[in-house]
Amino acid sequence: MIKVFISHSTSGETEDDPALQIREALYAHLGAAGYDPFLDLKDMRVAEEWTPQMHLALFRCHVAVFLLTARALKSPVVRRELIQALGSYHLLQTPLIVPVLIGGVTTADVRAEGFSDLLTLHAVHHRKHRTSPADEVSATVNEICALFPRMNHSADDPLGDRWSRLIEVELKNVDREVLEASGEKLGLDRTERDKLIIPMMGPRLLAVHLLTHGGHHEVVRALDEIRLGTTGQDRIKALVEYLRPAWIDRGQAARVLPPADQTDSFVVALNADHDEIGHDYLQTATCFRTADVKHREVGTATGEDAAEDLLANMEQTLGTLAWERQRPLPADFQLPSPERFVLIVSTKGMRLDVALTATRSLHARFPEVIVFLLTGDKQLDGKSVIELAPLAEGEEAKVIKHIRALEDLLAS
């Protein structure tokens, strides 16, 4: 279930305060919609230690909504929560931060309070030009929720708790000296490296550092240090598998699998050219639990019959995945369940509308198949197509270089 943290200030609040009305309406709306909202006034007991519980709730949330009135921008508590959320977002791309400007607060006010980083995010402005206060509140709540990522409600912990634990397992039997040397390759300072040699703590800390470091070159160097200092190639293979897609925004990756309300005819547009990118998104979305997910790449098709040829390629690939040898597929052929099937389709050299036509034809027969269309630098306009946020310029080349370096590490 997606966790939503609601940050606010009650200082000087009155019954007709828009911030209070938005807060109450948002909390009720999220609960009714199947989210897990956290609001201190409703979800904390008086006897609990306030600050640790608030930090923990913010640490675990997928989405953080900040109701920013003039008073909230001055509140030490709200400011501390903003700093924590922004720090986590810049390091881990989570949580999704939704600033809501209320009571005439402007972007200039936000900048003046030292939170110009918020201005790079999509802010919701509560405006008083609708027919009634209730309509204003309802419209603001709807606008807030529209910004939430389309995530599966059974998504893993936003900070990749299970992911980091998988890496921790592979580091359990690595000598402490090797952990410390690996931390040095990551560029950690002496204080952080000293923590890596603490029994029961070091492997988990290094796992988190490897996942959140962000520098591909340093991560490869750290893995090389582990490879040289340990025995067992299987451990390095597992670490490479887990760290290869660490560059991906986990919130974005969660969108490549169908949400609960859409299980058929699901199409994802990835603005990438390499099928490795699609593979990494899938691994991230499932947190490496792909035993029941059959996936394979499908090459592009060109020429006058491109749509028909691409459809034939996709059907043939499905047959291969399902161990069906007859070609073309028998008319009564059905994909086995409960396995899920994912096709990563290159559209290089073909028009996207042609690729989409072939995909629609495939879904007419096999609606349960998930299709990733690799669209390169082209944009795909189509109903029911989930289009992921564009990769930054040069990002794909950097990622592919990282993947090749990890492959070379295994081969050396």
Q: Which amino acid is residue 386, in one-letter code?
A: I
In this prediction, residues 103-119 reach a mean pLDDT of 88
In this prediction, residues 334-355 reach a mean pLDDT of 91
Whether 29 shows a pLDDT value over 50: the answer reads yes
For position 40, what pLDDT does the model report?
87
Residue 336 makes CB contacts below 8 A (sequence gap 6+) with: 322
In this prediction, residues 297-308 reach a mean pLDDT of 92
CATH number of 3-146: 3.40.50.10140
Task: Encode burial over 66-75: b for 16+ CB neighbours within 10 A, e otherwise.
Answer: bbbbebbbeb
In this prediction, residues 263-283 reach a mean pLDDT of 90
What would the pLDDT profile of 381-412 be if each residue is shown by its tens digit? Answer: 666 688 887 787 788 898 899 999 999 998 88
Of 198-202, 315-319, 365-369, minimum mean pLDDT range: 198-202
In this prediction, residues 62-75 reach a mean pLDDT of 92
State the fold for domain 250-388: Rossmann fold (3.40.50)
For position 125, what pLDDT does the model report?
86
Instruction: Provide the percentage of residues in the chain whose pLDDT is more than 90.
Output: 38
In this prediction, residues 169-179 reach a mean pLDDT of 91
Whether 313 shows a pLDDT value over 60: the answer reads yes
What would the pLDDT profile of 88-101 be if each residue is shown by its tens digit? Answer: 777 666 788 899 99
For position 278, what pLDDT does the model report?
92
For position 374, what pLDDT does the model report?
93
pLDDT band at 57 (very low <50, low <70, confident <90, very high): confident
For position 298, what pLDDT does the model report?
95
- First CA to last CA across the chain, in angstroms? 42
Instruction: Give CA–CA dist 376/229, Å, rounded.
Output: 40
For position 152, what pLDDT does the model report?
40
pLDDT band at 191 (very low <50, low <70, confident <90, very high): confident
In this prediction, residues 111-126 reach a mean pLDDT of 85
For position 263, what pLDDT does the model report?
72
Count of C-beta atoms within a 10 Å radius of residue 106: 10
Of 179-188, 277-286, 377-386, minimum mean pLDDT range: 377-386
The SS3 call for residue 351 is coil
Which string of DSSP letters, residue by residue, matches 107-118? Answer: HHHHHHTT-GGG
CA–centroid distance for 239 within its chain: 20
Whether 207 shows a pLDDT value over 70: the answer reads yes
Mean pLDDT score across all residues of the chain: 84
Torsion, CA 283, CA 285, CA 288, CA 293, rounded to 10: -80
